[in-house]
Amino acid sequence: MKKSKTSFFCQHCGYMSPKWLGKCPSCNGWNCFAEELVADTNSGSRAEMKFDGKPIPIEEIPAEEGARTATGIAEIDRVLGGGIVGGSAILIGGEPGIGKSTLLLQMMQNLAAKGLKVLYVSGEESASQIKLRSRRVGASAKDLLVLVEVSLEKILEHIKAVNPAFVVIDSIQTVYSADLMSAPGSVGQVREASSRLILFSKKHGIPVFLIGHVTKDGSIAGPKVLEHMVDTVLYFEGDSGHAYRIIRGMKNRFGPTNEIGVFEMQEKGLKEVPNPSAFFLAERPQNVAGSVVVPSLEGTRPILVEIQALVSPTNLGMPRRTAIGVDHNRVSLLVAVLDKICGLHLSGSDIFINVAGGIRVEEPAVDLGIVAAIASSFLDRPIDARTVVLGEVGLTGEVRAISQMDVRIKEAARLGFNRCIVPKSNISLPGSVPKMEVNAIHSLKELLENLF
Ligand code: TYD
Ligand code: MG
């Protein structure tokens, strides 16, 4: 009898090794290798999936941009870059319970209501559980077909028979191929199932949505490999303590990345939040020290966020620096600059930074906001409630230019702010926005003079 071949796979990143290893050389994870049977690549199951392509001059390839289908949910369409591209594979990651199944069901209902046939394959819930959810979100289109199945071969057969316009696999970790002996959810299975589904979708031009669970360290469970295989990766973020949910494009072969869509989880499913700035500023305290508003840019969209700081005397030898929603190292750097350049003696204080609402802001344009909030709390002097600050801060205390000033300032003006503190070096100083006072500054020293 032919001996079946096995290999060891890292369950985090998919790295393959012929022997067991304690530490993964690729992702440096410990104790994450599991033995899996490797499929015989010569077997017939893969042959049918091959493209029968031949080389053609690039000139003669028809450009089919425009074959996009809008989902009808504006927040999603923007993240996708205008709609779903034919034959694309879209991975949607997120923690359990965040609302992935709900979102996909609502999207598919929208598409099915337009008369497009949709196949929703679930390996996680029974048909009646899906029915219960569909009642809540009002999904009842007759072209929305539900299939409860985990076998990859059967799923592919059903897709062929139904010939839908869109396929959803909820979730990719439950799909399992009889060709492989390893357990469902293992890297080998997930990779095999995704690659065959993706090949199928490319060959037949059917867009496929793969739902993927995210582990607690934030990566899509097991396979980082999945992210390389698909065209688009969307992450569904949010906080169980908050009702809002953010869908963020991490990779997109057909559109922008870093675009976000904002939703609120309600009794009847996810609802779009068309005006996120107002949403994130809703509970802002007035005239208290340690709070400032920053017009941050998420993709192409300006969103006003409130940055809060609390500076309090420490009881510890080593003061605490805690940052939620902004980069921790960035905060340490800014605290050092404030200490050295502006003479605020922060070394005896614990410093806590929080972005209200639980949203994450990554860009350096919020530096000035972090500095302003810390200074305000340390000096115990409130910042004017209708002032926004923005700018990047350098190590010598200089305030550096940022991009797309205009859209940010317009958004601030729209929400009733009437003064902005911005970098002097910015080429496009906001001049055209009515009723907005502009204070352009060079350095952190000037910031403190302007603020208080
Ligand atoms: P779900 O889509 O099942 O999450 P996932 O597929 O990402 O695991 O969402 C489950 C959560 O959403 C659950 O805690 C209940 C809540 N929910 C609502 O608040 N309103 C609704 O209308 C629905 C359908 C779910
Ligand atoms: Mg689910």
Same domain flag for 263 and 232: yes
Model pLDDT, residue 339: 93
- 64: in domain: no
Highest-pLDDT range among 49-58, 71-80, 154-163? 154-163
CA torsion angle 279 283 288 293 (round to 10): -10
Which atom from ligand 1 is nearest to the alpha carbon of 236?
Answer: 7
| Closest ligand 1 atom, residue 95 Cα | 7
**What domain count does the chain have?**
3
- The pLDDT, as a whole number, for residue 96 is 86
In a shared domain, residues 316 and 434: yes
Nearest ligand 1 atom to the CA of 269 is 22
Q: Domain containing 156 — which CATH number?
A: 3.40.50.300
- Of 251, 274, 297, which residue constitutes the final position of a domain? 274
Looking at the domain assignment, is residue 45 inside a domain?
Answer: no
pLDDT digits (tens, 9 = 90+) for 190-205: 888 999 999 999 989 8
Question: Is 136 close to ligand 1, i.e. is its CB under 6 Å away?
Answer: yes
- The ligand whose atoms approach the alpha carbon of 122 most closely is 2
- Show the domain range for 105: 69-274
Is the model's pLDDT at 428 over the cut of 80?
no
Q: Based on the fold, state whether residues 184 and 252 are members of the same structural domain.
A: yes
Q: Determine the residue of 102, 130, 137, 213 to mutate for testing ligand 1's pocket, defined as the one with the most ligand atoms within 8 A of the Cβ atom.
A: 102
Mean per-residue pLDDT for 230-242?
84
Give the pLDDT band of residue 66 (cuts 50, 70, 90).
low
Q: How confident is the model at residue 220 (pLDDT cuts 50, 70, 90)?
A: low
Q: Within this chain, do residues 226 and 317 fall inside the same structural domain, yes or no?
A: no
Is residue 294 located within the same domain as residue 269? no
Nearest residue to 78 (alpha-carbon basis) of 246, 243, 249? 249
Per-residue pLDDT band for 227 (boundaries 50, 70, 90) equals confident
Is 330 a member of any domain? yes
Please check whether residues 256 and 297 belong to one and the same domain: no
Query: What gap in Å lies between CA 100 and CA 77, rounded to an integer?
Result: 16
Mutation probe of ligand 1 site: the residue of 240, 265, 272 with most atoms within 8 A of C-beta: 265
Closest CA to 261 of 101, 104, 79: 79
User: What mean pLDDT, rounded, does the chain reach?
Assistant: 87
**CA–CA gap between residue 310 and residue 256 (Å, rounded):** 36
Ligand 1 atom nearest residue 268's Cα:
22
Lowest mean pLDDT among 119-128, 295-304, 375-384: 295-304
Taken as a whole, the chain contains a residue count of: 452
97 ligand 1 Cβ < 6 A: yes
Q: Is 267 in the pocket of ligand 1 (CB under 6 A)?
A: yes
The answer to the question of residue 58 being in a domain is no
Same domain as 325, residue 243: no
Which of 39-53, 130-144, 178-192, 232-246 comes out lowest in average pLDDT?
39-53
Do 294 and 265 belong together in one domain? no
Residue nearest to atom 25 of ligand 1 (CA): 269
Whether residue 295 lies inside any domain: the answer is yes
How many angstroms is it from 176 CA to the middle of ligand 2?
17
Within 8 A by CB and 6+ apart from 392, the residues are: 364, 365, 367, 368, 399, 400, 401, 402, 423
Mark whether 335 and 203 lie in a shared domain.
Answer: no
Q: 310 and 263 in one domain?
A: no
Residue 62 falls inside a structural domain: no
Do 103 and 90 fall within a single domain?
yes
Please identify, by atom number, the ligand 1 atom nearest to the C-alpha of residue 125: 3
**pLDDT over 90 (residue 398):** yes
In terms of domains, do 86 and 21 share one? no
Distance CA 245, CA 238 (A): 5
| Percent with pLDDT over 70 in the chain | 91
70-90 pLDDT, tens digit each: 998 999 998 998 899 988 999
Listed residues 243, 274, 305: the one ending a domain: 274
- pLDDT by residue (tens digit) across 340-378? 998 999 999 999 999 987 788 889 999 999 999 999 999
The amino acid occupying position 263 is F
How far apart, in Å, are the Cα atoms of 227 and each of 93, 235, 373, 403?
10, 11, 37, 29
Looking at 229, 251, 274, the residue that finishes a domain is: 274
419: in domain: yes
Q: Is residue 267 part of a domain?
A: yes
Identify the CATH number of the domain in which residue 437 sits: 3.30.230.10
Strands, E assignment, 149-256: 166-170, 208-213, 232-238, 244-252
Measure the CA–CA gap between 417 and 401, rounded to whole angstroms.
Answer: 21
pLDDT value at 218 more than 60: no
- Tell me, in angstroms, the distance from the centre of ligand 2 to residue 395's CA: 46
* pTM reported for the whole predicted model: 0.79
Name the closest-CA residue to atom 10, ligand 1: 97
